[in-house]
Amino acid sequence: MGSDEDSNFFKTWIRSKYAKTIRGKKSGASPGDFEVVGDSYHRWLMDRKEEVPLSNSDDFSNLITESLPYYVDLYVQIKLAERTATDDLPHVYYNGARGLTLQAMVILSSVRKDDTQTVAAKKIRAISFYLDYLATVRILNGKENTYDNIRDIIFDIAKQVRDLPLADLKSKLHQLIVAEKDQLDSIKLATYDKLKRQDLLHLLSRLTDELEDCMELGTSVGFAAYIDRTKNDKTFDVEHLLPNAFEKVNEELKAASQSPFASKSEFEIVRNSIGGLILLPRGRNRSMKDMDYTVKLARYSNENILAQTLTPSFYLNQPNWTKFSQTSGIFSDHIPIANAAAIALRSEFYFALAKQIWSVDQLDECFN
């Protein structure tokens, strides 16, 4: 961990448990607790010690010997889980991969020192799931999750969940999801040119990883590998199903007795839509980008599972897919020709996967 992590902890802890205000949006607005803690957390603590409370020597002793060690351990647990994927705290890692640095503040806010380990673990899982959901619907609706863009929202959430009992936390997170204006169905309108490349890569990696998990594949690549940007030609990049060749694609569609694209603008919209995108290792992405879709298709059968679902061979003698499809109600079929209708259906398939990943049922599972 970084050399400044000790001061980051104190800022996070004070903001999570005691801060009440944040600077208003009007020009010249005075700094709130959030900003004062960021500038001089030790001064804030001494000036406001009655709110902690730190009224006598016993209070100071309890803080140093009990409260602080507990929250330091919790903070370290979160920070480590943000960097390394674990089965018990997957959404903490997903949020860390997004750079959602304020995650720890919300988790510390919700967890009480007297919570059992079981209760604390459920709170961590639930809070991190909700933040992952929030970050996802925001990027799908054209909003960035940078520190400055999301700081006020995350701080407000931290205040709302502060020290809540487990049942109340569950109700609160349900309420927040229901009240959220940004919706998951915007994924069907997501495009290559509207999403930041990092956000698009994260999204496609999550969809692919979900399929791998549900299909119980023994040869899974895994989310961490999909987003790893240090693997040279094996680094995964976003692949367009259609080459950037309007006239050539239309000729291929006509030859297959399919309706061509009416205009270049329609072609570009469909080509860049979420349903027209998958992940491929960089080396193969570069070598295949100018190929006709029908030529690429045969090669997709040897790629990751999201690419394989485009091919007819994937659906032959595939009991795991049949079981998953019947259980989840999620349908997909091979795409022999990548026309507008097929890519629109592909977008619906991605939406169905997204609904499974970020469903309220998954939130409820965090409390079980």
Q: How do residues 255-267 score in pLDDT, each as one tens digit?
A: 999 999 999 999 9
Residue ending a domain, among 153, 182, 211, is: 182
Are 133 and 247 part of one and the same domain? no
For 223-246, what is the mean pLDDT? 96
Are 153 and 21 part of one and the same domain? yes
Spacing of C-alpha 361 from chain mean position: 17
Task: Using the predicted structure, report yes or no on whether residue 64 has a pLDDT greater than 90.
Answer: yes
Alpha-helical segments (H) within the chain: 5-17, 33-47, 57-62, 68-83, 90-98, 103-110, 117-140, 147-161, 166-179, 197-215, 223-227, 246-255, 264-272, 282-288, 293-300, 305-308, 319-328, 340-357, 360-366
Please tell me the predicted confidence (pLDDT) of residue 201. 98
Are 61 and 202 part of one and the same domain? no
Are 205 and 320 part of one and the same domain? yes
Are 174 and 192 part of one and the same domain? no
- Could you tell me the pLDDT band of residue 36, with boundaries at 50, 70 and 90? very high
HSE value, Cβ hemisphere, 13 Å, CA-based, for 288: 23
Are 138 and 196 part of one and the same domain? no
**231 vs 151: CA distance, rounded Å:** 33
Q: How do residues 312-348 score in pLDDT, each as one tens digit?
A: 999 998 899 999 999 999 999 999 999 999 999 999 9
Please tell me the predicted confidence (pLDDT) of residue 105. 99
Are 68 and 141 part of one and the same domain? yes
Structure tokens at 143: 């909003």
The domain total for the chain is 2
User: Which residue type sits at 114?
Assistant: D
**17 vs 114: CA distance, rounded Å:** 14
Are 75 and 196 part of one and the same domain? no
Residue ending a domain, among 137, 161, 182, is: 182
Residue 368 burial (10 A CB sphere; 0-12, 13-18, 19+): exposed
Please tell me the predicted confidence (pLDDT) of residue 76. 97
Please tell me the predicted confidence (pLDDT) of residue 3. 72
Place of tokens 């309890």: 62
Task: Using the predicted structure, report yes or no on whether residue 163 has a pLDDT greater than 90.
Answer: yes
For the chain, give the mean pLDDT: 95
Please tell me the predicted confidence (pLDDT) of residue 55. 87
Are 208 and 327 part of one and the same domain? yes
Are 197 and 310 part of one and the same domain? yes
145 and 198 in contact (C-beta within 8 Å)? no
Q: Find the domain containing 195 and state its range.
A: 187-364
**341 vs 60: CA distance, rounded Å:** 67
Task: Using the predicted structure, report yes or no on whether residue 159 has a pLDDT greater than 80.
Answer: yes
For 62-71, what is the mean pLDDT? 94
Closest by Cα among 257, 260, 334, 338 to 292 = 338
For 163-179, what is the mean pLDDT? 98
Residue ending a domain, among 167, 182, 197, is: 182
Residue of 126 and 49 predicted with greater confidence = 126
Are 348 and 215 part of one and the same domain? yes
